[in-house]
Chain A
Amino acid sequence: EVHLVESGEGLVQPGGSLKLSCAASGFTFSSYAIYWVRQAPGKGLEYVSGISNDGGVTSYADSVKGRFTISRDNSKNTVYLQMGSLRADDMAVYYCVRGQGWNGAGTYFDSWGQGTLVTVSS
């Protein structure tokens, strides 16, 4: 069974930094792209960032480009999201998700972690 477990939840001041981790199990981690999707309180879903199976290709939403960095360690079956210059509108539950169905441009998300809450407040 696929398991994605996020960690790194925390309260950070505006302008601060936080690093999230996503530990994966139950599948061949190095064969899949992994993504982060977030959901602000009471709001909808927003794609944040993604990384290819070998780490060679990364993508970011315009809203986080230049502030967030995604990386992965296939020896540890873990993906990371380093978040910097955090703003109030970055406050959300961050989900780690597995990508599926690569069509040359995008993927859908077939497995989701339980999410980890990032709170940005002074």
Chain B
Amino acid sequence: DIQMTQSPATLSASEGDRVTITCRASQSISSWLAWYQQKPGKAPKLLIYKASTLESGVPSRFSGSGSGTEFTLTISSLQPDDFATYYCQQYNSYSRTFGQGTRVEIK
């Protein structure tokens, strides 16, 4: 199975900060990567698919990049609503594995 590794596990940041989360795949997944945001007690929400395509309705401060084995999710200017946990997910293979998550907390 393809393993997905996110870093960091926890990120402390302030409103207005530029934030970058990294996701690495154990083998090439082309651009078959999605990012999700999850708030406590809520279902995850799709942010980005195919590594860099913004889901409809998602603010433009979110962006994704990368291909092959290394990917990043960037929030250009952190807003209060963005404090949450973020997950990457590969869909290059049937295993559809998720990263372990990155919690973005208030500094």
A residues with a Cβ closer than 8 A to B are 35, 44-47, 50, 59, 61-62, 95, 100-101, 103, 105-115
Q: Give chain B nearest CB distance to A13 CB in angstroms.
A: 26
Q: Which parts of B35-72 form the interface with A (CB within 8 Å)?
A: 36, 38, 43-46, 49-50, 55
- Report how many residues on chain B are interfacial, defined by Cβ distance under 8 Å: 26
User: Which residue of A is nearest B98, CB measured?
Assistant: A45
Can you list 17 A-B pairs with a CB-CB distance of less than 8 A? Answer: A44-B99, A45-B36, A45-B38, A45-B44, A45-B87, A45-B98, A46-B98, A47-B95, A47-B96, A59-B94, A62-B1, A95-B43, A95-B44, A100-B49, A103-B92, A106-B92, A109-B36
A44 touches B100 (CB 8 A): yes
Q: Which parts of B85-103 form the interface with A (CB within 8 Å)?
A: 87, 89-101
User: Which residue of A is nearest B2, CB measured?
Assistant: A106
A106 touches B87 (CB 8 A): no
